[in-house]
Chain A
């Protein structure tokens, strides 16, 4: 389930009382509903599923995890991440 693709918010506005956005998937721009991301702002990357933003991607978290994955020696080290 759940084709959710990251897209960057490039515009925010309201339609029919719903918070909406124009999001850029990397050359493809589409409208998406941001009602579930009240704190979302322009420049944020969000996961978009069926035209709805479901999460704001945490860049810090992403970078830290990638760095650790690249570095860890699997023998003995714990995998990082909140439990």
Chain B
């Protein structure tokens, strides 16, 4: 596939790894913000190939992992209602709520359907005019333009039976919260390439300045990730803290203006609770008042007061912030496995815990004969 295969080239990968090895003089903690990047790193085996002085911390860039428990419970409550078709991206189906997940609702007879695009949910609403179709609008800034367009289209086409349950989160506020936290030790960030495709990277310039950390917009394929790491390490080694763009084929400084305009039209900033982390001010989107009629929470007020119960054993929040590694959790691999997840980080294919469980259980011998685990400190 064009624009993918070239970025999975084994020779270029080896070369970039050698380049990093040549310039790195001390350990650095780099956080990759995006769950898709985590997935790519682990699936390609890149984490085991990086010089051991690079400590990659997997950040909270997984909308599945950070969707607040309360919203998952609301989704489950809505999906359980009669005469409702609940539509969602596949990722959310196995996320544990307080007592069960959307899969369980489906098994119990609820009409829960996976969609690839919010426009598919819209089509289901058109095809079933007498039934309310609710769409679980989750994601970061990347997904907001798509979710927003569905709402605009519902209004334009008069689809009164369409409603959305919104749970958007945004990256810059999360970086601020992480950097303000004394427990988090991050030296540089690999910013999420597709979030920045939509938003540009102008928002990160004040952050790099304020916290004196390099931020490199990075793509998703192994070569992209190594490019981002190499750039970031170079900045760190030379004491710079600028925002660079290592995904220039897709990302520009100002981003996608039409998409940002539609986001602003449909959503406004709000405080959001991040599961396992807490409330981060101005870190999410909610529907503007004029679209209130499409808000599932308002249409079904009975789901507004929901009691949530997070597992007392789950430390997803600490993992998401990079303060603990998954295997430092006492429940890891025991009470908590991908089949029996206690928290979202074990469910999502990008969740750090799931990634560790699936890929990290076996310690591969490193080329020198010494065993090397998944990203160890030097």
Contacts and interface: CB of A to CB of B under 8 A. Distances in A.
| Direct A–B contact in complex, judged by CB atoms less than 8 Å apart | yes
Interface of A: 1-6, 8, 16-18, 25-26, 33, 35-38, 45, 47, 49-52, 54-55, 57-59, 61-62, 65-66, 69-70, 72, 74-75, 78-79, 81-83
Given A33-B119, A50-B117, A55-B197, A6 B2 contact: yes
A interface, by DSSP: helix, strand, loop or mixed?
loop
Q: From A2, A6, A25, A75, name the one whose CB has the most chain B CB atoms within 10 angstroms.
A: A2
B248 A2 contact: no
A47 B246 contact: no
B358 interface: no
A43 B336 CA distance: 47
Interface stretch (B69-77, B237-245, B269-277, B295-303): B237-245
Given A2-B139, A51-B146, A52-B145, 17 more contacts: A1-B192, A6-B4, A16-B157, A17-B156, A18-B149, A18-B153, A37-B256, A49-B143, A49-B194, A51-B119, A54-B145, A69-B227, A70-B12, A70-B15, A74-B22, A74-B234, A81-B244
Interface of B: 1-4, 6, 12, 15-16, 19-20, 22-23, 34-36, 61-63, 89, 116-120, 139-140, 142-143, 145-146, 149, 153, 156-157, 192-195, 197-198, 220, 223, 227, 230-231, 234, 242-246, 248-251, 253, 256, 258-259, 262
Given A16-B156, A25-B1, A83-B243, A1 B249 contact: no
Contacts of B249: 57-59, 61-62, 65
Q: Which 9 A-B pairs have the closest CB atoms?
A: A51-B117, A2-B194, A74-B19, A6-B3, A62-B249, A2-B142, A26-B1, A36-B259, A1-B140
Nearest to B35: A1
Contacts of A2: 34, 36, 139-140, 142-143, 192-195
B186 to A, nearest CB: 18
A83 B194 contact: no
A79 to B, nearest CB: 4
Nearest to B138: A1
Contacts of A72: 19
A4 B220 CA distance: 9
A5 B194 CA distance: 10
A74 B197 contact: no
B258 A36 contact: yes
B119 A47 contact: no
A58 B251 CA distance: 9
A51 B4 CA distance: 18
A49 B256 CA distance: 14
Contact of B197 (A4, A70, A75): A4
B244 A33 contact: no
A49 B143 CA distance: 7
Nearest to A58: B249
B189 to A, nearest CB: 15
Contact of B23 (A5, A35, A59, A75): A75
B162 to A, nearest CB: 13
A42 B128 CA distance: 34
Contacts of A4: 142, 193-194, 197, 220, 250
Contacts of A52: 117, 145-146, 149
A75 B21 CA distance: 10
A31 to B, nearest CB: 8
Contact of A81 (B140, B143, B223, B245): B245
